[in-house]
Chains A and B, each alone.
Chain A
Amino acid sequence: MNILIEAHNLRKRYGTVTAVHDFSHRFAPGKITAILGPSGSGKSTTLAMIAGLIDPDAGSLLLGGNDITGLPAERRDFGLVFQNYSLFPHLTVVENVEFGLRVRGVGRAERRRKAAEALNQVHIQHLADRRIHQISGGEQQRVALARALSFTPQLLLLDEPLSALDAKLREGLRAELGRLLNELSLTAIYVTHDQVEAMSLGHELIIMQGGRIEQAGTPLEVYTRPATPFVATFLGSANLLEGECIRSQGQTRLRLPFIELPVPDGTPIGPCRVMLRPEDISIVADGDGQMCGEVTASVFLGNQARLTVVAGGCALSVDASNEAIPSTGDAVSLRVREAKLRIMPKGD
């Protein structure tokens, strides 16, 4: 029962501030769409408009082609998992989980059976009779998930569901959540500011900033082919460089301050911005490099080190394997993986 959800030009203003500008997207049925953005990017407001908790000032929301923009939240049949759990403190775990069924008039025996099923899905059936204050944060989030799943919602909305948990617990629950959502093949919208969560859980990624969609696509597309400098720097680390594409000797070439490289024909000629990820610059043996630089800083990250290398007057972030980490002050030869260069028109 996966119905297409479409948002058309959803807009929300608070006083003079526009929190969301014309948000349009078709959410892939049966897939997880992660909305990623920094604080204040409008992602939670967008989710609240989809949930029906906030009325949009303009735009429409279609569910299976039917306009549900004015439909109140309680009649949308969407499951919602909140960042702070929002469990009912006066009810037990199982009473929380069966709440959605209770308000739908489902009989006690049937709702107990369905609630037990939902608790089983998130592996907390043994906590059914506990009070909410008697269980941990991770367990509370599982209850919130079971509660949202118990009435088989048409769409599952998750608003930063793991951000209140500590790092280790978050990692474990993230993997479990991904497995469960994929098993259920439920259409889900997952709002987060955590790029690892967004990339690992989302089949599709929407990057938002300043209330606008910066880019939408698969995580791989967005990571490898960022549409804007913001996306390039927000998702992972990136060197953003000023460059120029020129025609020289029948070839299109990219001129950077420290190197000149051939690029595919058809690349627009003129000033441009270039994104180069730290992992796409390699430290190579002397003589194999395309350029030289001097290491000015080094941060050890365990499996690798993040170096700052100054080449041609530019400070570049470069990843080095932990097997051979150059020291500060060392001269190194660098090689760029040309296929990974991302050239963006200047002015974006």
Chain B
Amino acid sequence: MLRRSGFIFCLAVTVALMAVILLPLLVVVLGSCVNASLLGLSTDLWSGSRNDIFDFSAFAYIFQNYGDWALFSLELALGCVAICLLVAVPAGYALARHPFPGSLLVEELVLLPLSLPGITLSMGLLAAYGELRGPYLVLAGHLLYTIPFMLRVVTATLRSFDVGRLEAAARSLGATLPQRLFLVILPNLRHAMMVGSLLVFAVSWGEFNVSFLLNRGRPQTFPAVLYDTYTNQSIQISSAATTIFLAIVIPAVIAIQWLGGRESSDLEQGA
């Protein structure tokens, strides 16, 4: 009886917390397409037809006016993923497999940008590479924020299954360096690289400060659309922008959770 009431209490707390977190998101999503009066909002903020319950014109407006911004953000996020895979995976392997005096310090230094405010990082980059201001400097700023995620995931995974041991086994079985890389190391890093890529994508897609400060002119990154529409446009249009933003980032976050859970359960099973 006590256990049952405890369960009900925990469930109630969980549902209440979920409601607190999800309700604002729900309002935003509905605000993008449902008549404002139905949501109890002032109809002055409703840019669609006064009679329709649903109206998706705000999405069309966003795609029409900010489509290139979304595309730029996607390109930036995918570019970050590609560069992180090319740079952070080999670096993580080197740090985990061949540690040297000070290698832990190097790992910590790579994490440093995460603790710096975006404005500090941006000013530093502008001071050093001001003439590059524009998309490439935005990419550099995003990489400073995303490489630590990929590096951490890769080094933690490599350490969890002692890659040196598996490599020694592969060598004893006759595997050359490329065979060890493609048949042993990379397959065992598959989960880590997927989780790392999704993290990098989500961080880059959601980054605002550095992008805003380092970019020159238009298009800006997609979070700037939210800033632009919330300050200058109707709630319906800014809600549509937010809904698009969430539609991209939420699947990535869910995939990270799912893959992360699968990876840890594989490792716990002694694989």
Contacts and interface: CB of A to CB of B under 8 A. Distances in A.
A52 to B, nearest CB: 8
A77 B175 CA distance: 11
A126 interface: no
Interface string B171-197: 111111001000110011010000000
Which residue of B161, B165, B166, B270 has the most chain A CB atoms within 10 A of its CB atom? Answer: B270
A80 B270 contact: no
Given A84-B165, A86-B165, A86-B166, A100 B173 contact: yes
Nearest to B268: A133
Contacts of A151: 173-174
Contacts of B270: 132-133
Contacts of B171: 52-53, 72-74
A102 B174 CA distance: 9
Interface in A82-138: 82, 84, 86-90, 99-100, 102-104, 131-134
A75 B183 CA distance: 17
Contacts of A82: 165, 168-169
B176 A133 contact: no
Chain B residues touching A, range: 20 to 34
A130 to B, nearest CB: 12
A191 B60 CA distance: 72
B174 A80 contact: no
B269 interface: yes
B266 interface: yes
B168 A53 contact: yes
B271 A99 contact: no
A88 B169 contact: yes
B170 interface: yes
B82 to A, nearest CB: 23
A218 B266 CA distance: 45
B55 to A, nearest CB: 50
A89 B271 contact: yes
Chain A residues touching B, range: 20 to 34
Contacts of A219: none
Contacts of A147: 173
Contacts of B269: 133-134
A165 B173 CA distance: 23
A133 B266 contact: yes
A199 B172 CA distance: 26
B175 A89 contact: no
B175 A103 contact: yes
A51 interface: yes
A88 B172 contact: no
B187 A90 contact: yes
Given A89-B161, A104-B174, A132-B271, A80 B266 contact: no
A223 interface: no
B118 to A, nearest CB: 38
Interface string A213-243: 0000000000000000000000000000000
Nearest to A54: B168
A80 B170 CA distance: 10
A250 B174 CA distance: 66
A53 to B, nearest CB: 5
B175 A99 contact: yes
Nearest to A80: B172
A87 B173 CA distance: 11
B174 A74 contact: yes
Nearest to B270: A133
A147 B175 CA distance: 13
Interface string B154-170: 00000001000110111
A79 interface: yes
A131 B271 contact: yes
A312 B165 CA distance: 54
A88 B190 CA distance: 14
A101 to B, nearest CB: 9
A190 interface: no
B188 to A, nearest CB: 5
Interface string A139-161: 00000000110010000010000
Interface of B: 161, 165-166, 168-176, 179, 183-184, 187-188, 190, 266, 269-271
6 contacts: A52-B171, A73-B172, A99-B173, A103-B173, A133-B270, A151-B173
Given A100-B174, A104-B174, 18 more contacts: A53-B172, A73-B168, A73-B172, A75-B174, A79-B172, A80-B169, A80-B172, A87-B169, A88-B166, A88-B170, A88-B184, A88-B188, A89-B271, A90-B187, A99-B170, A102-B183, A103-B179, A148-B173
